[in-house]
Amino acid sequence: MALRYVIVQQPSSAAQLFLLYHGVNDNPDSMAQIGSWFAKAFPQALVVSVGAPYAGSAPQGRQWFVEIPPHDRSEQQGVDAIMPEFIASVRHWQQKSGVRAEATALVGFSQGGMMVLEGIKAQPDLAGRAIVFSGRYATLPQRATTRNTIHLIHGDEDDQIPLQHAEAAKQRLILLGGDVTLDIVEDLPHAIDDRSMELALNHLRYTVPRRYFDEALSGAKPGDDDVVMMI
């Protein structure tokens, strides 16, 4: 069982790190096409598409954990089983690139989006940003932090992961004091389209993470120890 990587963009010195995670029965090659949008918008970013460890039912398809029957409540167990490898992979690329967690963005679609949300839930300092297309939690979090900013992007016609999962995630994160946005894309099924990508890129360009305001109010001086480019 091993993860496969497709490097979309590798600058000589990376200022940001984007790691992308595909959906069930997809693969890192196709998710790399989504990565090309981030590469174009952030030319100084290392952009890597990460392949899931398990074979899917479709040809060349992969999945992050073994499919769980709908009536079975152990889906969280499947996520938890692969989570150490998922986290180790993120840390590997942070170390390899020299990019800190604050300048790391995890991008996931569908089951890959679940892995991103669950990764941030398990280890809040894993990344500064999460972009989740058509994803959901395995189980809603019990605590949240402003150390990361979560951007949920979801189609209102998604019949595989219905919109209410994203709405429930947003409500829970706000209740817990987290930093979250939710964009609903009209007439979009379980997919990523040009509108979704523009929303994602605009959040990365223009949405100021809440932690910056918290640091300012507390009198902290972010970056005194090291100067890093945040996203």
The answer to whether residue 21 is domain-embedded is yes
Number of structural domains (the chain) is 1
- 187 lies in which domain range? 4-67+75-218
Whether residue 218 lies in the annotated active site? no
Spatial separation of the C-alpha atoms in residues 42 and 231, rounded to whole Å: 10
The answer to whether residue 223 is domain-embedded is no
The answer to whether residue 91 is domain-embedded is yes
The residues, any chain, with a CB within 8 Å of residue 215's CB and separated by 6 or more, are 221, 222
The answer to whether residue 32 is domain-embedded is yes
The answer to whether residue 228 is domain-embedded is no
Spatial separation of the C-alpha atoms in residues 1 and 173, rounded to whole Å: 33
Whether residue 158 lies in the annotated active site? yes
Whether residue 190 lies in the annotated active site? yes
Choose, from 30, 80, 183, 190, the residue flagged as catalytic. 190
**pTM to 2 decimal places:** 0.90
Choose, from 49, 97, 110, 134, the residue flagged as catalytic. 110
Profile the chain (231 residues) by mean pLDDT over runs of 10 residues.
89 96 96 97 98 90 78 79 95 97 97 97 96 97 94 98 98 97 98 98 90 63 41 62
Spatial separation of the C-alpha atoms in residues 150 and 203, rounded to whole Å: 10
Output the domain CATH number for residue 138. Answer: 3.40.50.1820
The answer to whether residue 225 is domain-embedded is no
Choose, from 151, 158, 179, 196, the residue flagged as catalytic. 158
Residues 108 and 132: beta-carbon distance below 8 Å: yes
Distance (Å) of CA 117 to CA 62, 79, 225:
19, 11, 29
The answer to whether residue 158 is domain-embedded is yes
Query: Residue type at 23?
Result: G
